[in-house]
Amino acid sequence: MDLGSVNWLAVVVCVVVSMVSGSLWYNPKTFFPAWWHGIGKSGEPGMQGNMGMTWALTVLSSFVQAVAMSFMVDSMGSTTAGSGALTGFMLWLGFIAPTYLVNKLFAGHGLKVWAIEVGNHLVNFLLFGAILGAWQ
């Protein structure tokens, strides 16, 4: 893994895309109400815990995912948006979807919460792969 091979501007774009897609995905007019109810919460959501730390770790997580995706897109020889998106899909299918499934089932959250959460990750992994593949 050569950090010099990472397109850092593309990684930053991926992080921004992740923040935008997450804010749309978990918007009160989209999936947030179903997700909130599905995880057993009721009433209006409030700011819980240290939100500064929550946002910092969210951005850091997106950054780590984008860098890792950059390595994978590069190692798979993905040089187009389509091949990058396929790499993102396969990583999502092999690692994200099954891991979340087990976690959600044992947590008692069920398939609806699983679908909402992994759906957001699917969108991000497809977009990350497409951006990084096209930006080779």
**pLDDT tens digits, 1-31:** 678 789 999 999 999 999 999 999 999 999 9
Name the burial class of residue 3, with classes exposed (0-12), middle (13-18) and buried (19+) by CB atoms within 10 angstroms of its CB: exposed
Say if residues 91 and 69 touch (Cβ distance below 8 Å): yes
The mean pLDDT value of the chain amounts to: 93
pTM value is 0.92
What's the pLDDT tens digit per position in 87-134?
A: 999 999 999 999 999 999 999 999 999 999 999 999 999 999 999 999
Asked if pLDDT for residue 135 goes beyond 70, the answer is yes
Given CA atoms 67, 73, 77, 79 in this order, what sign does their dihedral have? negative
User: What is the per-residue pLDDT for 130?
Assistant: 98
Cα dihedral value 18, 89, 39, 99, nearest 10: -120
User: What is the per-residue pLDDT for 43?
Assistant: 72
DSSP code of residue 108: T
- Sequence-ordered alpha helix ranges (H) in the chain: 8-25, 32-38, 51-75, 81-91, 97-107, 110-134
Asked if pLDDT for residue 46 goes beyond 70, the answer is no
What are the domain boundaries of the chain?
3-40+50-134
User: What is the per-residue pLDDT for 105?
Assistant: 94
User: What is the per-residue pLDDT for 42?
Assistant: 79
User: What is the per-residue pLDDT for 4?
Assistant: 78
User: What is the per-residue pLDDT for 47?
Assistant: 62
How far is the C-alpha of 16 from the C-alpha of 59, rounded, in Å? 9
